[in-house]
Amino acid sequence: MKKVIAGAVVSLLALAVWAVPSSAASIQGQYLEVRSADVYTGPCFANSQVGLEGRRAILAWNIKQGKWGGTDLSGLSVIAVVKAKDNVGDPYHNPYPAEAVLIIDRRATAAQSQALLEFAKAAGGKLVQHVVRVDQAPIAMQFGVGMQHGTATVVAGNLARIQTRSLCAGDNICGNEVRYYPPLTKVSGAMPAYTIEQAFKGAGLGVVWSQKDDRSAYVASFQM
């Protein structure tokens, strides 16, 4: 009996390993997400934004190390700017179809640019499946550590910009705030943050924006 159970376990482990795509192995880094609706908020505020806000989001990945499809992406970044049909965080409404503009790190080679595009589509899921435009720009990302965790800055040329800080006691407005919406992608250690500024000035989505002073960001790490 023990031999049969052991054999079954080995078989299941083998199937699990076989089921993991080689292209999605061992890539990790830091992640910043910001939306046009609060993610750290109370139900009253969240319900007031449904149908009005939350259709737009910016997702930024800073790859610390790793490969995608055999191409080394260590030290590079990619950003997805998303416009959806409805609030991307509301589980009771369908945000699809969504459109995305990808901003690729200008330092990337042709092979790395293609790998970054494929990585962003895999990491962003359905939100990043319909890419309407791909741009290249110099991308600079900075993430705070320790007591400054939650503080981050992302600048993609003159196309996109995000600046966040850690939440503090003064950011509780109704006293009933929670992490109302989870992050849009698979991440770890996600911390909600205060959005000092978010902006998109690029083409492709039929809309540009500049938005300030919201509780609408997540700072996290990722590994795939």
Rounded CA separation 194/172 (Å)? 11
pLDDT value at position 54? 76
Residues with Cβ within 8 Å of residue 132, at least 6 apart in sequence:
99, 100, 101, 204, 205
Please give the residue that has the higher pLDDT: either 176 or 132.
132
pLDDT for residue 213: 94
Measured distance CA(118)–CA(106) in Å, rounded: 16
pLDDT in tens, 48-107: 566 667 799 999 999 999 999 999 999 999 999 999 998 887 777 788 999 999 999 999
Rounded to two decimals, the pTM is 0.85
User: If 0-12 CB within 10 Å is exposed, 13-18 middle and 19+ buried, where does residue 19 land?
Assistant: exposed
